[in-house]
Amino acid sequence: MDKLLITGGARLNGETAISGAKNAALPILCAALLTREPVTITNVPSLNDTRTLLKLLEEMGVKTQREGDTVRLDAGEITNPMASYELVKTMRASVLVLGPLVARCGQAQVSLPGGCGIGARPVDQHIKGLQAMGAEIRVEHGYMHATARRLKGARIFTDMVTVTGTENLMMAACLADGETIIENAAREPEVVDLANCLISMGAQISGAGTDKIRIRGVEALHGATHAVMPDRIETGTYLCAAAATGGDIRLTNTSAAYLDAVVDKLMDAGCDITIERDAIRLKGPARLNAVSIRTAPYPAFPTDMQAQFMAINCVANGTAVIRETIFENRFMHAVELQRLGADIKIDGNTAVVTGVQRLLGATVMATDLRASASLVIAGLAAEGETLVDRIYHLDRGYEKLETKLAALGANVRRVS
C-alpha cells in the first residue's frame, strides 16, 4: 500500500496548474447516458474516482476513450442499466447514474451506496424526487429497482440541501414530460457546471446556482463538447499548503470566483492574495493568525475545506473555533493531527484549535479524502519526517499531488 513521505520545513514557491473538478466531472460523465450521440468532455482529472466511474459506464455498454484529459463517451446502446455493489461501494457518486438511466432506459438497478466514514449520506431524497416524477422504486437485497414508462414533470422540494440529489433529479428531468421544479436545490458551482453541460446537449434549464431550478423536459438530447470547471477544493488545498509553510505560489487554470469564503478566511489569516482572471497568487506570512470557520452549504464555507483549515490553524497564532454543520463525523483527522503535536479539543460538532509553535513529524493515517489533505499540509509545516499512510484516499481526489507539490519545492515522495 502506497504512503507519502514528507520532510517538512520547506516553503512552497512557484507555479502549478489546477486540474478539473472531480465533483463536477463525475455527474457530467454520467450525463452522457442521456443521449445516443457521442459526448466529449475535456479537463477531466485522472483520478481513481473518474477511472471507477468510466469502468461502471463501460459495464453498462458505454464506449469510452481517453486521451490525456479528454474523454469521449458513446452511450448509443445501453445494454446493462445496472450499477453493482462492487463499484458503488468504492465511490458513492456512482448513484448519479440512477436518474439518467431511468429517464433514458425506463429502468435502472443501482446498489445502495452503504456507509460513509464522514457521516450519514442518505439517498432518500433521490428516491423521493424520482417517485414524484412517476418512477416506481422498490429497494430489495440492497438495490434500488426503478422503472418508469416516461418520467413526468413535477414540483420537488428536497428536505435537505443535497448536491448529488439535485444533480440526479436535474438529469432525470431533462427527458421528462413537462416542467420539473426543484426547490431547496443545491447551489454549488459543480451543479451549475453540470447544468451548462446539459444545456449544451439541448436541455432546457434555468435557475442553476439558485435554490430553485426549472427544467423543461425534451424528447431527446444530442451530443456536445464540454470542459469541466477547475477544482475549487484542490485550489483551496494548495493555497492552504502555501499559507501553512509561509510560501509564495501561483495557481493557474483556476478561478477565485467559486472560493470567496475560503479566500476571505485566508486573508483574515494574514495571507496576501492576488486574483487574476484564471489564476490566484498567495504569499503567506511568517506566522498565520488563527481563523474560526463554520461550514454550511454553498456559498458559505465548504465542508470539503474544513480539514485543511484545521491544519493551518494548528500552526497559527491564537485560538480558532471550527464548527462542522454538514457531516456529523468529520473530525477524524483531529486525532491524527494531535500525533504531530497539535492542540485540538473536540466537543460534538465543534473543534477548538490552539496554535502551537511547531509540529513534529510522525506516522499518521488518512481516514478520508479531505482528512488526507490536512495531514499532508500539517506534514509540510512540521519539523522532520511525516509518513502519511492509506493515501488511496488522496488518489481519489487529487491528481498528481506529490508531483505538483515537488514542483513547488516540497520534499515529498510516494513510497510503497
What three-state secondary structure class fits 8? coil
Cβ–Cβ < 8 Å for 230, 253: yes
Residue 72 to residue 298: CA distance in whole angstroms = 30
What is the distance of C-alpha 179 from the center of its chain? Answer: 29
Find the distance separating the first CA and the last CA of the chain, reported in whole Å.
Answer: 6
For residue 360 the three cell numbers come to 513534529
Look at the chain and count its residues.
416
Q: Which of 105, 116, 197, 314 is catalytic?
A: 116
Best CA proximity match to 171, nearest among 225, 99, 93 = 99
Question: How many CA atoms lie less than 13 Å away from 340 in the CB half-sphere?
Answer: 38
116 is catalytic: yes
The C-alpha atoms of residue 256 and residue 268 are separated, in whole angstroms, by 16
Q: Give 3's contacts (C-beta < 8 A, 6+ positions apart).
A: 387, 388, 389, 390, 391, 414, 415, 416
Which residues are tagged catalytic? 116
